[in-house]
Structure 1
Amino acid sequence: MASEKVDVVVVGAGWYGLCVAKTYLQVHPETNLVVLEEASTAGGVWAKHRLYPGLKSNNQYGLYDPNLGTYEYPDFPMKPFGVTPGTYIPGETIHEYLYAYAKKFNVYDSIRFNSRLTTAEYKAETNQWLLTVGGSDGTSNTLLTDKLVLATGVTSEPFLPIFDGQETFGRPLFHTKDLLQNSDQMFQSKKITILGGSKSAWDAVYLFASNGIKVDWVVRAKGHGFCWMAPSKVTPAKKWIEKLITTRFLTWFSPCVWDEADGYAGIRSFMHGTFIGRGIVDTFFGILGGDVQTLNGYDKHPETKKMKPLTNPFFIASTLSILNYDTDIFEYVRNGTITIHIKDIDHLSPGQIHLSDPENPEEKTVLESDALICSTGWKYKPHVKFLPEGIEKDLGLPYVNKEIPDYADEELTKKADAEIHRRYPRLANQPVINSKYERLRGDSEHDQLNRPFRLWRLIAPPTKQFRNSIAFCGALMNLDTSITAHIQSLWSVAYLTNRLKPAEEKSEQDLEWEATLWSRFGRWRTSGGYGRRYPDFVFDSVAYFSQLLKDLDIDPFRKQGFFNLVFNPYGPEDYTTVVDEWLAKEDNKTTTT
């Protein structure tokens, strides 16, 4: 049977997939575009099947301005959705918002739900992609497309560890992604064990503890410890953290390899290239981290003291999260509803979880538990099988290099590392998070990956061989999802339609070098987060937006006057018109030629 032919296929109907589909149709309304979504509803992280009870965003709507939010598309306000200013946005509201966005911009009818892309084969002779799509009923079909955008992000496929004895456990064992499907059964439990120190672990722990269920909270002795959890307002000046990270003056405290497009490379050079500047930076992050620990009161109780993060706040990014709970989660630790175990899971047996402590090998702890819920992260490699075999490297995707197992041993990588350390000497002095660290055991393919994402501008393959036929949106983590999706989508459309001047002007060597430099920067800058695997940044978002806008020939400085540019925080409202500005420039080019 012949393959169905379409112009564009977007994979994923979350923040990024919906936005790139909307932008493509906005620029080219006549496009025959299809969105493939594995789930039965749109929203990605905020799809219906992932909205467990009490789920809220880390963003407080309208705290800075009652009419403006930080978690909304620049051209689609969230205000009409009835969110109370100063409150965290409920998960149900975000789902409704994304559904309405898809409806308003005529994307919804292009979504094919319950459709999982399994293989994508590049046809070099025609510069097209042959896609195999599996349905929930076990059937499959093929699509032939000119343009492919993978917008599945890095939190789609859960990583569930393998435990010795798990086949005998006889109790529910699942990832926090599946919390909704299991929540009714869990609320009948007397005692639950939760593994992990990430934000989703905090959410699960709070959900059950606040409902009177005893929780054993296991955070691995051989892991990275608890993530940083902050109140919405931090520093002695009590600044709103969402605006703190998008204030250009404060972004200078973060070294940034793509800073030249932001226009203040000289200031960053002083801040990070001189002894005095580095002292100022260390003081700033020391105050920031110290304030968070003081506000949380870790040292006020022996149990909460165990929750102090191991990571240096300078070297983290999106692993920073917000205490968005209705009541004090630390009180459940102090009153014994939550018991903290800084130990490792040795093995499972019927109804029991056996813990070990590397500090005291003879000490054994056995937990009687009605369930084991794992907050153990995500498989960062896209689930799609790309063909021909071995093209992941050229695409800039994670893969296994058996010839040179260590990425740092590659010549171009050595050159990138030297450049990063020359510009930012502080990054060469990496802290040891946990000398006892060991990776959790998972499936063999995930365990063997030894190359991270290496995309040009964090979006496109680091080569011209695919002739602008594929892009990757959302293959990163930061705290400015809505703005990033908005600008990445426009950049991707320009790139895919051969209307991005830098992509045409740069050589193959330029693309490979810049992609490698940016990839390695993540390894050194956010070693306490996910920078070794994929781009992970917080204070560098405004500079990233500037780089993409500069590529599009759009003014990256979205405010008037030096004071506003430097000291007033950026938000979605500053990027409302970027698509219209780009379209006007393109129309003007057409008219003048």
Structure 2
Amino acid sequence: MIATMPEAYDLIVVGSGWFGLGAARAYLQSHPDQKIAVLESNESVGGTWSEKRLYPGLKSNNMLGSYEFPDFPMKEEVYGVKELDHIPGTVLSRYLTDFAKHYGIYEKLQFNSTVGLVECTESGWILTVMSPSGERRIPTEKLILATGLTSTPNIPSYKGAEKFENPFFHAKYFCRRADELKEVKNAVVVGGAKSAYDVAYAMVESGATVDMIIKPDSNGPVWIAPRKVTPLQHRIDTILNVRALSWFSPCPWGQEDGFGGVRKFLEKTSIGRMLVRGFWSMLGNDVLQHHQYDNHPELQKLKPWHSVFWIGSGLSILNYNTSFFDMIRDGKVRVHIENIDHLAPGKVVLENGDELVADAMICSTGWKKESTITFKGLDKTGLGLPINEKEQANLSLEYDTKVLNDFPILEKQPILRSKAKRPADPLRYYRFMVPSGMLAKRNFAFAGMISSVSTAICASTQGLWITAYFDDKLDRQAKTQDEITREIMMHTQWGKWRYPCGYGASLPDFVFEGIPYVDMLLKDMGIRNKRKGSFIKELISPYVPKDYNGVLDEYKRKIGIVTQ
């Protein structure tokens, strides 16, 4: 039986991770008298950092000061995290819960509520929501989908899986199924991403030996850096937010930082491109020399296959209490660059014939990057651009040419081993948030459909931009449908060429592009984007969340809301 709630909402936010909380907070602070709900499929706040997704030893890539909301600092005396400490998952779960309670979001939360269907109506939206009490329909005027990119696991299908007999699951459920792993002596971990390293490390810490399997036709092992990089020993989690260094990453919205002349030199001249290549070579070689991959045959298998220039936000950081690489040198983690042929009872059989004993098999095989929510009542273009397939194909070719003309350094692409089918089209949303056909309605947006190393900053800024957009308070916005379509095409087609070894072909992938993206959103709202105290600091002092403290109050004053 489907029940309809008696009251409608002014806004529903789906998801309570960083982006859901950032969006809910911005709207709630600007509209304290409106009726708002936040729907969360888990039992607790946090998305990736919700309680049931935490596993032993899980920490963030970020260190203290770079992974917090701008006006809600993660104080050492409250959370016990010291400078240069990576933030434990348990602390992040607590912090995000505290944030939700502090800003009155927690009381708006409905846990164990999964949205399956979204219907477009003349007055807004109707959500079909499944919860333990049954299915119900909830109407709302405005809707923000903040379900993120790590909600639906991508689980491989293997021959003989039904005969395997032992625990076999995705890394998402590593915490939930931890009790099944207590007696495991030999574990197989599939994947070369940071989460695969995390699971392998945790299993060795618990006394197991691990066989790590990386497909030879994948993009290979993750680029994983020490905490500090370059000869100047900069923190890796903040160096990516240094404005002057962002110039070395070609980007179509890069000129939003006000230094278009420098960017043009680096992008359009042979000397400039030589400097760009030199910068990325220095960054990559610094990491490679630190890890000394070539000094051990097993460790050599984890040496990245492509230049760090092409990787995207998959770049990670070593955040373990002891050396993960020593576990490999000691034979506690064995690396196989091989395909899996089939599974047998308690065994994983590789294509080369090797049989690996497996008391458990954990797949760190990524996420499905599309929304699992079904939409109903939209026109034929739905969430895409309002053009037909032929027009889309022609525009894709046109903007392939334009991207390479504007950024010649991207022309010589890396040779990929991956045979995985690439998506026909990336997500094509205005400012990576609003489908172009819905712009005029001002009642729908995605939050967090980006992969960024600047999560906290982007989450708070996207949340405020969505509020300003809903209220028709943006200072600037592309006006005609053709302008909107062409801007979206440039921004999204660029990703395919910029990060072929990352997520660029399917969704926005930001490394040094995060701060210029925030520049663009702040300038849309008429809010000052350069927030350092001097010109020199503006160029070389990394941007961290606290630099954006007060942005929401600035917006409220700008539109005439008196801050209490």
Q: TM-score range by the shorter chain?
A: over 0.9
- Residues 1:417 and 2:390 aligned together: no
- Residues 1:35 and 2:38 aligned together: yes
Aligned residue identity for 1:107: I
Correspondence list, 1:154-165, <5 A: 154-165=149-160
Superposition RMSD in Å: 1.9
Aligned residue identity for 1:81: Y
- Residues 1:118 and 2:116 aligned together: yes
* SS of residue in 1 equivalent to 2:509: coil
* SS of residue in 1 equivalent to 2:174: helix
Per-residue deviation, 1:584: 0.9
Residues 234 and 240 in structure 1, CA contact (< 8 A), matched pair in contact too:
yes
Residues 40 and 112 in structure 2, CA contact (< 8 A), matched pair in contact too:
yes
Give the equivalent residue in structure 1 for 2:413: 430
In structure 2, how many angstroms separate the alpha carbons of the residues matched to 1:296 and 1:247?
24
Give the equivalent residue in structure 2 for 1:379: 368
Per-residue deviation, 1:260: 2.2
Match of 2:51 among 48, 53, 56: 48
- Residues 1:537 and 2:520 aligned together: no
Aligned residue identity for 1:501: D
- Residues 1:522 and 2:477 aligned together: no
- Residues 1:264 and 2:247 aligned together: no
* SS of residue in 2 equivalent to 1:501: coil
Per-residue deviation, 1:448: 9.3
Residues 60 and 85 in structure 1, CA contact (< 8 A), matched pair in contact too:
yes
Give the equivalent residue in structure 1 for 2:127: 131
In structure 1, how many angstroms separate the alpha carbons of the residues matched to 2:372 and 2:118?
11
- Residues 1:512 and 2:493 aligned together: no
In structure 1, how many angstroms separate the alpha carbons of the residues matched to 2:304 and 2:379?
39
Give the equivalent residue in structure 2 for 1:25: 28
- Residues 1:462 and 2:447 aligned together: no
- Residues 1:140 and 2:135 aligned together: yes
Greater shift after overlay, 2-11 or 470-479?
A: 2-11
In structure 1, how many angstroms separate the alpha carbons of the residues matched to 2:379 and 2:196?
36
In structure 2, how many angstroms separate the alpha carbons of the residues matched to 1:455 and 1:311?
29
Correspondence list, 1:512-591, <5 A: 512-587=485-560
Per-residue deviation, 1:466: 5.7
Per-residue deviation, 1:396: 3.8
Give the equivalent residue in structure 2 for 1:81: 79
Aligned residue identity for 2:232: A
Aligned residue identity for 1:423: D
In structure 2, how many angstroms separate the alpha carbons of the residues matched to 1:514 and 1:403?
18
Match of 1:251 among 246, 255, 277: 246
In structure 1, how many angstroms separate the alpha carbons of the residues matched to 2:46 and 2:498?
30
In structure 2, how many angstroms separate the alpha carbons of the residues matched to 1:557 and 1:372?
48
In structure 2, how many angstroms separate the alpha carbons of the residues matched to 1:428 and 1:448?
18
Match of 1:240 among 235, 243, 265: 235
In structure 2, how many angstroms separate the alpha carbons of the residues matched to 1:429 and 1:581?
44
Q: Which runs of 5+ in 1 are unaligned?
A: 62-68, 357-362, 440-446
Per-residue deviation, 1:86: 2.1
Residues 191 and 215 in structure 2, CA contact (< 8 A), matched pair in contact too:
yes
Aligned residue identity for 1:438: K
In structure 2, how many angstroms separate the alpha carbons of the residues matched to 1:102 and 1:152?
17
In structure 2, how many angstroms separate the alpha carbons of the residues matched to 1:2 and 1:101?
30
Per-residue deviation, 1:449: 5.4
Aligned residue identity for 1:302: P
Residues 17 and 151 in structure 1, CA contact (< 8 A), matched pair in contact too:
yes
Q: TM-score, normalised by structure 2?
A: 0.95
Per-residue deviation, 1:389: 6.4
Give the equivalent residue in structure 1 for 2:93: 95
In structure 2, how many angstroms separate the alpha carbons of the residues matched to 1:496 and 1:542?
23
Per-residue deviation, 1:187: 2.7
Per-residue deviation, 1:133: 0.5
* SS of residue in 1 equivalent to 2:125: strand
Aligned residue identity for 1:484: C
* SS of residue in 2 equivalent to 1:197: coil
Aligned residue identity for 2:424: N
Residues 38 and 115 in structure 1, CA contact (< 8 A), matched pair in contact too:
yes
Q: Which runs of 5+ in 2 are unaligned?
A: none
Per-residue deviation, 1:311: 2.1
Residues 255 and 263 in structure 2, CA contact (< 8 A), matched pair in contact too:
no
* SS of residue in 2 equivalent to 1:569: coil
Per-residue deviation, 1:536: 0.7
Runs of 4+ in 1 over 3 A off after TM superposition: 1-4, 401-404
Residues 171 and 371 in structure 1, CA contact (< 8 A), matched pair in contact too:
yes
Give CA-to-partner distance per residue, 1:523-581, whole Å, 9 cap, x none: 11111111111101110111011000000001111113221111111111110011111
Give CA-to-partner distance per residue, 1:372-431, whole Å, 9 cap, x none: 10000001111110113675x44249x9x9966xx9x71222222222111101112111
Give the equivalent residue in structure 2 for 1:15: 18
* SS of residue in 2 equivalent to 1:463: helix
Give the equivalent residue in structure 2 for 1:299: 294
Give CA-to-partner distance per residue, 1:122-149, whole Å, 9 cap, x none: 11x33x1111001135x10001111000
In structure 1, how many angstroms separate the alpha carbons of the residues matched to 2:51 and 2:467?
29
Residues 50 and 178 in structure 1, CA contact (< 8 A), matched pair in contact too:
yes
Give the equivalent residue in structure 2 for 1:347: 342
In structure 1, how many angstroms separate the alpha carbons of the residues matched to 2:328 and 2:291?
12
Residues 212 and 337 in structure 1, CA contact (< 8 A), matched pair in contact too:
no
Aligned residue identity for 2:480: S
Match of 1:395 among 383, 392, 400: 383
Greater shift after overlay, 48-57 or 78-87?
A: 78-87
* SS of residue in 2 equivalent to 1:181: coil
In structure 1, how many angstroms separate the alpha carbons of the residues matched to 2:211 and 2:47?
29
Aligned residue identity for 1:543: P
In structure 2, how many angstroms separate the alpha carbons of the residues matched to 1:41 and 1:540?
31
Aligned residue identity for 2:290: L
Identity of aligned residues (%): 39
Give CA-to-partner distance per residue, 1:86-115, whole Å, 9 cap, x none: 211111111110000000100001000000
Per-residue deviation, 1:236: 1.9
Give CA-to-partner distance per residue, 1:30-80, whole Å, 9 cap, x none: 11000000001111000000010111111121xxxxxxx010000101013
Give the equivalent residue in structure 2 for 1:314: 309
Aligned residue identity for 1:376: T
* SS of residue in 2 equivalent to 1:518: helix
In structure 2, how many angstroms separate the alpha carbons of the residues matched to 1:53 and 1:344?
28
In structure 2, how many angstroms separate the alpha carbons of the residues matched to 1:2 and 1:581?
39
Change (3 A) 1:338 1:89: same
Residues 60 and 86 in structure 2, CA contact (< 8 A), matched pair in contact too:
yes
Give the equivalent residue in structure 2 for 1:177: 172
Per-residue deviation, 1:82: 2.2
Aligned length: 557
In structure 1, how many angstroms separate the alpha carbons of the residues matched to 2:269 and 2:449?
33
Give the equivalent residue in structure 2 for 1:443: none
Residues 10 and 150 in structure 1, CA contact (< 8 A), matched pair in contact too:
yes
* SS of residue in 2 equivalent to 1:484: helix
In structure 2, how many angstroms separate the alpha carbons of the residues matched to 1:402 and 1:340?
46
Match of 1:502 among 445, 464, 476: 476
Per-residue deviation, 1:486: 0.7
